[in-house]
Chains A and B, each alone.
Chain A
Amino acid sequence: MKNSKLKSLYTYRWRICLIFILLVLPRLAFSLPFTERVTLQTGLRLIVSEDHSLPFVTFQLIIDGGSRIDPPNKEGLSYITAKGLLHGTTRNTAQHMNNTLDFLGANLSSSSSKDYISVALKVLKKDLVQGFNLFMDAITQPVFPEDEFRREIQRTLGAIKSVEEDPGGLSEREFLKTLFANSPYGHPVMGTGESLDRLTRNDMISFHNTYIRPNQAILVIVGDVSLNEIKKDLTGRLETWIAGEVSKVSYEQPPVSSAKTLTIDRAITQANIVLGNLGPPRNNPDFFPMVVMNYILGGGGFSSRLFTEIRAKRGFAYSVHSAFDFKKYTGSFSVNLQTKNDSAREAISIVLAEMKKIQTEPVTDMELEGARKYLTGSFPLRLDTQAKLASFLAQVEFYGLGDDHADKYVSHIKAVTKEDVQRVAKKYLNPGAYTLIVVGNLKEAGFRE
């Protein structure tokens, strides 16, 4: 008995040691997979990362033409145009295109976000050229048939209803609308019932003519293909995509944040809460301190302050997190949580108290070290599939973060100090004048008499 007890004590200590050693071991420097970058004569920026471990290829195209540039009263145009790319081309009807893609087991999709349109293709190596040609047809030779356009409008109206049925989706939509007011990021990417009603096929054709141009675009190719193959088999086709003059769309700043509260009464069991304020653009010198600060406040998995206070200590919510949503011009900061109606007010006051605390008191050494280690150590997990790597490379290029962004990521995060954290908390959180959305049973939540 004695022996076995000794033995177990021994293993116990040994294991503690093991963990300790692994914690202090020097980190292996992580480097980005090798990438090559070419700008074609047409202005298209082409980024290639070869990975021959599996026989398929991922294409990610992003085009500077998100909902931000929807003309007034034509909200949703960027989105509908992006969808329209897959409605048929001069070579193929939508049905024929869908059938061919499915027969190849290829995935082709298109969508739009606030900043850009994206078109993605995943195709087996053996079908590379065939898949790529369908992809290029969609981008450069769409015909936008009237009947497909009508169907897309109906589906989008349906999708808007789904967002409105979902209290979480509704609260997020209303948050951005309220925060950005009538500025370019304010309206939903899908538009509204009224604006979709006003769209015509000609609007799409004209949007496509103006913005879907190689000089507006970044194409990332990741997977089982070499630069030589791209030059031999794909570049010719890429070069037939003709550049066009695109006049810069002016960006109108949203009004400076003042406190605004929007409450929506609904017969549900939880209050869906979004609280926050405007933020800086993606390409700003405070990016790294902001990431670290947010990780400590509410971004970091299961150890953040908001998670600890609201979930782990009080059991008020299943999900609570904070995030900076970085965009090309103006971003936002928000805290998002759902709690049973009668905890709503207390949860909100905890969120505000935590925002104030991180502004007024330095974070602890342990918190700072934890954030730095997580953010640097988890970097490889952010790039471990073709789609994740392609999306990362496209964004770095789109937001102009520099070719050395990934290489310098670790050193930038490690350089963040406690003072930096406090400074950016003061600068970018506004617990005094925030936008608040509550979707829930307002009487139970104490927002209505």
Chain B
Amino acid sequence: MFSVISLSVVLAIFSFVSVSFGEEKLGDKVYETILANGLKVILLEDHKAPVVTVQVWYRVGSRNEAWGKTGLSHLLEHMMFKGSKRFTAEQFVRIIEENGGKNNAFTSRDYTAYFVNISADRVAIPLELEADRMRNAIFDEKEFLTEKKVVLEERRLRTEDNPQSYLHEQVLATAYQVHPYHWPIIGWMEDLERLTLADAREYYNQYYSPANAFLIVAGDFSRQELLPKVEQAFGHLPATDAPHQSVGREPTQKGERRVVLKREGLVPALMMGYHVPNLKNPDSYVLDVIEAILSSGKSSRFYEHLIREKQVALRADVDHSLTSLDPSLFFISAEVLAGKDLLTLEKAIDDEIMRLQTEPVTPEELSKAKNQMEALFLYGQDSVFYQAMVLAQHEIAATWRRIDDYLPAIRRVTADDVMRVARHYLIPENRTVGLFSPITLQDNYHGPAKNLVKEKGHTR
């Protein structure tokens, strides 16, 4: 349970988005209804394997938090596994696991999502459990304090002891000054320590309700049989008003910003984040094509030039999300290959950006990028979990129906579009550059020695 989906994970997943291959649209297979209490229900039947994924997505993430209360969405996600009026934490987990289900949850900047993947014949079980904790979660002080410790450990693991995550956080905090994408999903250490049980309860009451959530089920079920079960589980929950979702707008960036991280490490790394729009602006699809041109496959420009030819990078990737609710960053990240330096790597990346802006992409290269994107679309349909996730991300950003725009929008992209969009967004004035410049790491090895631990007698 309880993972923070980092920016890169959400974006990486997105690049496998899937729509039907050929001309059949994925959206045609999706059924939507809204219960009387305002809960939207999205169903995708897929009988490929005898499994289903049941997911409840709440329209709340770190973007909804306040200054000084960062990390609250994610900490609340943890609390959702700590029991309800009907089920204790142990019962909840036991019911799912005894039915062979795998369950977890993830929090992003825009949403908090809970899922159970389970044999198709058990589909009613997660419906019951999810409906229950939408309104009936209990908040116990002792559990809260323990779970806060778990989250602090999670932050130490993912961020404090990981230079690249740490830098990623610094780049976002520099690129966003007003908008809440400024802070990390997991929250600042200082804020986490100060969060209270009352904060979590109030946040839950504000954001966890049928009108601020949707249910998505994908897999091996029949809609006629499932809908009464959904109604049975969720229909009795009281209707509430949806909370407001407006947040501060980030002012236009005027001039490049740079941030340098100095700490122990071995692999220098570089990140560049350019402010870009989401799928409500057609340029977003062009940026997706640019992402593929730069970094998809071993014939991509980054792999071919930075990794293979110039040998300046150990790794070079692009992350770009169509489905960020508010404008996000077109994010380049790369690691320096031993023996080379950050300056050379940055120059090599700048050369690739400049080439996009000055030289039209050839028809072959453009077709190749589109073919890759279409194939990834199709491969993604192998997993019902993944299909549900992609539909849900579109629903968060606009509506799941936008999934059917994906292939046509990609196919429409021209070489001129690529050049125009690269010139418009991928400019120094619009970016934040982050550099990890490691201080030599000096490990001191001790041992192996016999019984070292035993001799010191670390008993409880």
Contact = CB atoms under 8 A, between A and B. Distances in A.
Given A19-B128, A259-B454, A373 B99 contact: yes
Contact of B128 (A15, A86, A167, A340): A15
Interface of B: 1-2, 21, 47-51, 81, 86, 89-90, 93-95, 97-103, 117-119, 121-122, 124-125, 128, 145-154, 156-157, 160-163, 232-233, 236, 264-267, 296-300, 303-304, 307-308, 311, 314, 335, 337-339, 364, 367-368, 371-376, 378-379, 381-384, 441, 443-454, 456, 458-460
Contacts of B444: 264-265, 442
Given A261-B451, A318-B153, 18 more contacts: A22-B99, A28-B119, A56-B378, A98-B303, A102-B371, A103-B367, A103-B371, A104-B371, A260-B449, A261-B449, A262-B445, A313-B146, A338-B156, A374-B97, A377-B99, A377-B119, A377-B122, A447-B446
A102 B100 contact: no
B299 A99 contact: yes
Nearest to B98: A373
A79 interface: no
Given A261-B448, A268-B161, A381-B102, A162 B314 contact: yes
A100 B302 CA distance: 17
B371 A22 contact: no
B51 A380 contact: yes
Contact of A384 (B264, B374, B383): B383
Contacts of B450: 258-261
B432 to A, nearest CB: 23
B299 A261 contact: no
A247 interface: no
Contacts of A311: 150
Contacts of A158: 267, 314, 335, 337-338
Contacts of B119: 28, 30, 377-378, 380-381
A383 to B, nearest CB: 7
B460 A349 contact: yes
Interface residues of A, number: 102
Given A262-B448, A315-B148, A373-B100, A303 B371 contact: no
A378 B122 contact: no
B134 to A, nearest CB: 14
28 contacts: A18-B124, A18-B128, A19-B125, A22-B125, A23-B99, A28-B121, A98-B297, A102-B300, A102-B371, A103-B368, A105-B372, A105-B374, A105-B375, A124-B378, A162-B314, A259-B454, A262-B446, A303-B90, A317-B153, A318-B154, A340-B153, A370-B97, A370-B98, A373-B98, A373-B99, A379-B100, A435-B448, A446-B458
Interface of A: 8, 11-12, 15-16, 18-19, 22-23, 25, 28, 30, 51, 53-56, 86, 94-95, 98-99, 101-106, 122, 124, 151, 154-155, 157-159, 161-162, 164-168, 178, 258-270, 300-303, 311-319, 338-340, 345-346, 348-350, 353, 366, 369-370, 373-381, 383-387, 435-436, 442, 446-448
B382 A386 contact: yes
Contacts of A155: 307, 314, 337
Contacts of B48: 51, 53-54, 384
A446 B455 CA distance: 13
B124 to A, nearest CB: 6
A369 B446 CA distance: 43
Given A11-B236, A18-B128, A102-B296, A377 B102 contact: no
Given A102-B297, A165-B441, A30 B50 contact: yes
Contacts of B156: 269-270, 338, 340
B337 to A, nearest CB: 5
A164 B443 CA distance: 10
Given A316-B153, A377-B99, A124 B304 contact: no
B150 A105 contact: no
B458 A345 contact: yes
B375 A124 contact: yes
Contacts of B383: 384-385
A270 B157 contact: yes
